[in-house]
Amino acid sequence: MSTPTIPKTARAALIESFGPLTFKEDHPVPQPTDLKPGECLVKIDYAGVCHSDIHVSEGGWGPMQMPRIAGHEGIGHIVAIAEHTANSPVKVGDRVGIKWLARVCLNCEFCRTGKESACAQSLTHSSGFRVDGSFSDYVVSYVDYVTPIPENLDSAAATPLLCAGLTIYKALKQTNPQVGNWVAIPGAGGGLGHLGVQYAVAMGLRVIAIDTGDVKRDLVMSLGAEKWIDFKQTTDLAKDVKEATGGLGVHAAIIASGNPEPFTQALYYLRPAGTLVAVGLPSGGAAMQVPIGWLVTFSLHIIGTAIGNRQDVAEALEIAARGKVKCHHEIRDFKEVNQAMADVNAQKVAGRIVLKF
């Protein structure tokens, strides 16, 4: 394969100060000779817009080195690999994905046991926060951590699976899913939630979708949810969930919310020995309001999760490649990145926004 022509400058959306991103047409592009062994240069085709991108750009994740290219979901093609890179699992021309974790060491106890997000190197290699991310025509990444994309997956639809899909799939795996078990997914009509409904159904789980509005109800029911509860219409959410499951409650609840209320509610509609998976933490460090005796008496399990490992993302993409999961998304031009982030923040988007480069 001939070596692609790599320009000296290209487009990038940067965090130069907390607030809207700075869109540049002439941002310097790393050249092949600039790459260190183990690094590769990826020409981005699509990048997903995630709530975390908004939080980072607004300062919600704390201080950071600026300027920083934003974004952490991207799919493109490798256009260069550094000289002296040994035993690369990918080659120039391969289609690969960029994830929230840009790199881990692959050698520590956490990496060896599949807990890659606990690796010390992961804390310094979060895309769009600690290292440059995917909101750029060209991104430097690592040959041993980019994700090969299955051939029959559409790039635009697959891009959000690298974060939203991976995150919710990992959360479901944490429940030790058994065919026929009930799982509740608050926010089921959102970016993570609608993917969670599909992954849960693919696992053989029975889904109670919790959200509000006819549009989201129709969406999640079309995706295979068995029961629907509108949290704005119900007067007793926990009671409604228990009634929907024959009285005992759900085996598991997947909570991906910045509000502590869904966490607290879930503890009252889980069946004894049920599992609550907290995807991230309530904003502001707000605590769940439930007596500790309740947790002990009913032997409830609380598990925290943030992101999956290389095996998890391979599984999540393979399930999608078999047609079991499809991300509902709309495509915007890369130049519209700030408007796209504003629309996501204002909850004006059904599913996800994917930027086209």
pLDDT digits (tens, 9 = 90+) for 36-78: 999 999 999 999 999 899 999 999 989 999 999 999 999 999 9
Query: Largest alpha-carbon pair distance within the chain?
Result: 66
Torsion of CA 323, 328, 330, 336, to 10 degrees: -110
Beta strand 182-186 pairing with 206-211 = parallel
Residue 144's pLDDT band (boundaries 50, 70, 90)?
very high
CA distance 148 to 196: 22
Q: DSSP letter at 131? A: B
Burial class (CB in 10 A: 0-12, 13-18, 19+), 85: middle
According to the model, what pLDDT value does residue 280 have?
Answer: 66
CA distance 21 to 356: 17
Percent of the chain with pLDDT over 70: 94
Q: Using one digit for the tens of pLDDT, what is the confidence trace for 169-228?
A: 999 999 999 999 999 999 999 889 999 999 999 999 999 999 999 999 999 999 999 999
State the average pLDDT for the chain: 92
User: Residues 6 or more apart from 297 whose CB is under 8 A from it?
Assistant: none
Q: How far is CA 162 from the centre of its chain?
A: 6
According to the model, what pLDDT value does residue 285 have?
Answer: 46
> Which conformational region is residue 284 in: left (phi greater than 0), alpha (psi within -120 to 50 degrees), or beta?
left
Confidence check: pLDDT of 284 > 90: no
* Long-range contacts of the stretch 57-64 (C-beta < 8 A, 24+): 57/15, 57/18, 57/19, 57/20, 57/21, 57/341, 58/18, 58/19, 59/18, 61/129, 64/15, 64/129, 64/130
Residue 292's pLDDT band (boundaries 50, 70, 90)?
low
Residue 294's pLDDT band (boundaries 50, 70, 90)?
low
Cβ distance 263 to 276 under 8 Å? yes
Cβ distance 69 to 30 under 8 Å? no
Q: How far is CA 297 from the centre of its chain?
A: 34
Confidence check: pLDDT of 83 > 70: yes
Query: What are the φ and ψ backbone dihedral angles of 74, each rounded to 5 degrees?
Result: -155, 145
Higher pLDDT, 151 or 298: 151
Q: How far is CA 198 from the centre of its chain?
A: 15
Residue 291's pLDDT band (boundaries 50, 70, 90)?
low
Q: DSSP letter at 79? A: E
Higher pLDDT, 108 or 301: 108
